Structure 1
C-alpha cells in the first residue's frame, strides 16, 4: 500500500508549478455566475492532450470530462466549482484580480486547479483503473444566477460515463477555521440548507398625523420580524437548529407619510428536511396571521435554495482513512458540527452517495483563527495546498474504484461501500 500512496503524493508535488500558475491565472481574471468563458477555456486548455471525453454545457460554461479506465468498473465523480464573487479584492497579492468588483474570495480557483491536477494524475494511471472518472467543472456555485449544479444535472451530468456514479467527492478550501493543511469532514449533515423569505405587507397609506384613517403596514412588519425570532426559538429543537436573519427592510418614502405597503427579506438556514418543511409552512401561517390581526394582508414568498448537504457515512469514513494514510493522523479532523453555510454540491449528493471535505489553506505562519474568512475582500489562500488536494482526490478515486472491484460479486454486479 505504501508505494502507490507515496507515488501519488510525489507525482502531485511535481505538478505544483503548473497548478500554481493555473490557479493564479484564474485568480487574476475571475468571472461571475453561469457564464465563465475565460475560465472555461483555461480549463479546456489545461485538459488538452489527456485521454478524456470532454463536453461543455449549453445553459452554462461548464466542462464535463470523462476518463475511462482500461478495465470496466463503476464511476466516481469529482467536482470543482469555478466562479468568483462580486467583491473588490483587497488582498495585496501580486496576482490579485484585474477585474473591478470581482474576486476569487472563496477559493474556487484553487478547486479548479486541484481538479485539473487530479485529472492529470488519474489519466497517467488509466491502465490501472477499473472504471471511469467524471470530472465536473461547475460554474455558479455562489448562486449569482441561481446555481450551477442543477443545470449541469439537467444536461446529463450523472450519465456522462454511461452510468450513474457510485460515489461523488468534492473539496473546499478555507482561508480560516482550519489549520493549514488540515482536512475536515463529518458524516451526515455537513452544511445547511439555504432558503429565502420575501414578505410584502399591504395596507392603506395616509398622513402620519392621522394613523387611525390609514392601515399602517410598518408596525405589523416590525412585529413580524421579532415574531419570527420567537417562532424559531420556541418551535424547533435546539439539536436540529434553525437560523433566520432579516437582511433587508423596505418601507416608506417620508417620515410623515404612512406607506401603503412595506416589506422585508430574510435568509433561512436549516439542517434537516423536517425543519425546512416546518419553516416553509410555519412562516406563512405566522406572518399572514399577524397581518390579519392588524387588518392587513401579507404576501409570503418562501424560496427554496440549496438543500442541506448530507455526507454518506461510509464514503466519509473512506475519505478519512485516505487522508490519514496519505498525510498522517494529524491532518484529518472530525468536524464537530455542520457549517451554517450552504453548498450546491448538495444537489449531487442528493443523487449519489459521497462526501464533501474542507481543507485549511490559511498561509503557514498566519493565525487561522483570526485570518479573514472566505468571502472577505482580504481572504488569502496558500497555493502550497494544491498538490495535496489533487493527491487526495486522486487517491480517494483509486481506492473507491479498487474497493468496488474487490467487493464485486462474480457476476460483475455493482456494489457500494458498506
Structure 2
C-alpha cells in the first residue's frame, strides 16, 4: 500500500488550506510509524498480557522526556508529557488512548507482513499503537509550547477483557496528578473511505452484556420422550421468546440487539434425550432502562418458560462494557476543529450509533471526551466489498498513520488551549 495525501481520498473538493500545525512533522514521521505498525502486525498478541507489544512501545518512546509507568496486572504503558507553557501550576490535563491487543483470528490477507501465529490485528489496534506513538513524538517536539499535560494511554485487553477498566483501577486517570479535563481516541475503520473522520454526539457504540442460560431436564430415551423432561424444545422456545422480548418489550426508539451464540446439549447420541441445554445470549444496548429490562425481566421470562415445561433454568447475567457515550460539548468542539483543519467534507456525523462495543466507554464515563473513527480503506477497494473488521481478510491502509498521529496531537493541543482559556464572565463578574 502506498501513501497518498488525504485530500485525494475523499472525492470532495481539496481544502485550500490545511491548518493542522503537526502535519509536516507527521509526514516526516510516517515511514517510522508504518514500520512500527507492520512489525506489530506481524507478531500480534491477544488479551491483557502483551509483553512484545509493550516492549515495542517502550522502545518507540525511548529518548522522549516522558514519565512512564507500566501496568502491574496487565501489559499497559502510561506515559505523561508535561508542557512547558503552563507555568508552575502545570495547566490542564488531557488523555489520548490507543488500544494494543489483537484478536484470535487466523489471518488471510496475503500481506507480506501478515501474522502467522493464529492471531491477527483485525481491528486495527496496531495502527492505534503507532498513531499514539506518533502523537507522543509530535507533541514532545513542541513540549516547550505545550499549554498543559498529556497522558498517553497504551491499553491492552480491549477485545472483551476490560483492559480500560483495569487501567483506570491502576490509576491511569490520575497519572499526571490530576484528572484529565478531556479524553480522545481515534479508531481506524477498514470500510470507511480513507481520511474521513466519523463521529457523533451522545451514544456512539453500544453497551454489551451476556446471559448464560442453562435448562435442566431429566434425560431419557428418544423413543419415549413422554417419560422424560426434554430441555431441547424448551431451549427452542426460549430462542424465539428472546427475539419476541426484543421486539415487543424494548422501546423502538431505544434499540437493543439480542443474539444467541453458543448453543449445546449434553446428549451423547441421536437416541439419547439431553439432560441439559446451555446457551448464551449476547445483548447490545444503550440506555440504563433497556439494560434493566435485559438484566431483570428477561431472566424471569426464561425461568417462567422453563417452569411451565417442568424444567429448571439457571440464568446468569454477566455485565461487560457500558455504552460508549461521547460528551456533547467536547464532540461539538472536536467536529469543529476537525472541520477547520481537514475540511468539513471530511467530517461525517453518524445519524445512529453502532451496535458494536468499546471499552473506551469506561474512560468516557469518568472524563468528558470523544471517540472518532478514521477511514483507512485501501486504495482501489470499494467500501461495499471491503472485508470488515474482525474478519480474517480485514486490511487497512497504513498511509493514514500520519493523519492519525497529527489529528490526535492537534485534538490534545486544542483541548488544552480551550481548557487554559479564561472563563467568560457575565456583567456581574460571575463565571457563566
Is the shorter-chain TM-score for this pair beyond 0.5, marking a shared fold? Answer: yes
Alpha-carbon contact 2:43-2:117 (below 8 Å) kept: no
Partner of 1:374, secondary structure, is coil
Q: 2:378 aligns with which of 352, 360, 363?
A: 363
Tell me the distance in 2 between the aligned counterparts of 1:6 and 1:288.
58
Cα distance between partner residues in 1 of 2:347 and 2:153? 25
- Structure 2 CA distance for aligned equivalents of residues 169 and 300 of structure 1: 37
Residues 1:101 and 2:118 aligned together: yes
The number of residues matched between the two structures is: 407
Secondary structure at the counterpart of residue 15 of structure 1: helix
Aligned to 1:403: 418
Ranges in structure 2 where 5+ consecutive residues have no aligned partner: 1-15, 426-430
Shift of 1:5: 3.3
Change (3 A) 1:65 1:29: same
Name the TM-score, length of structure 2 as normaliser. 0.92
- 2: CA distance between counterparts of 1:211 and 1:35? 49
Residues 1:48 and 2:65 aligned together = no
Cross-structure match for 2:133: 116
Residue of structure 2 equivalent to 1:297? 312
Mapping 1:1-80, distance limit 5 Å: 5-70=19-84, 71=86, 72-80=90-98
* 1:210 pairs with 2:224: yes
Pick from 258, 268, 280 the counterpart of residue 253 of structure 1: 268
Does residue 240 in structure 1 map to residue 254 in structure 2? Answer: yes
Aligned to 2:108: 90
Unpaired runs of 5+ in structure 1? 411-415
1:373 equivalent among 383, 388, 396: 388
Q: CA deviation at 1:255?
A: 1.8
How far 1:297 moved relative to its partner?
A: 1.0
Deviation at 1:324, TM superposition (A): 1.2
1:184 is aligned to 2:201: no
Moved over 2 A (4+): 2-7, 407-410
Distance in 2, matches of 1:226 and 1:107, equals: 36
2:176 to 150, 158, 161: 161
Structure 1 residue 126 displacement after superposition: 1.1
Pairwise CA distance, 1:364 = 2.3
2:8 is matched with which residue? Answer: none
In the alignment, does 2:237 pair up with 1:219?
no
Q: Does 1:129 align with 2:146?
A: yes
Report if aligned partners of 2:92, 2:419 keep a CA contact under 8 Å in 1.
Answer: yes
Find 1:139's aligned residue among 125, 137, 156.
156
Once the two structures are TM-superposed, the CA of residue 409 in structure 1 deviates from its matched residue by 7.7
Q: Aligned-pair distance for 1:42?
A: 0.6
The one-character-per-residue Cα deviations of 1:268-289 (angstroms, maximum 9, x if unpaired) are: 1111111111111111110000
Structure 1 length normalisation: TM-score? 0.95
Q: Which moved more, 1:200-209 or 1:155-164?
A: 200-209
- CA distances 1:232-258 after superposition (whole Å, capped 9, x unpaired): 100111111110111121112222211
For the 8 Å contact 1:322–1:392, the answer to whether it is kept is no
Per-residue deviation, 1:130: 2.1
Q: Equivalent residue for 1:413?
A: none
Of residues 360-369 and 52-61 in structure 1, the stretch that sits farther from structure 2 once superposed is 360-369
Secondary structure of 2:379 counterpart: coil
Change (3 A) 1:227 1:338: same
Q: Superposition RMSD on alpha carbons, in Å?
A: 1.6
Structure-2 separation of matches of 1:110 and 1:217: 47
- 1:408 Cα deviation from its structure 2 partner: 4.4
Q: Distance in 2 between matches of 1:369 and 1:134?
A: 37
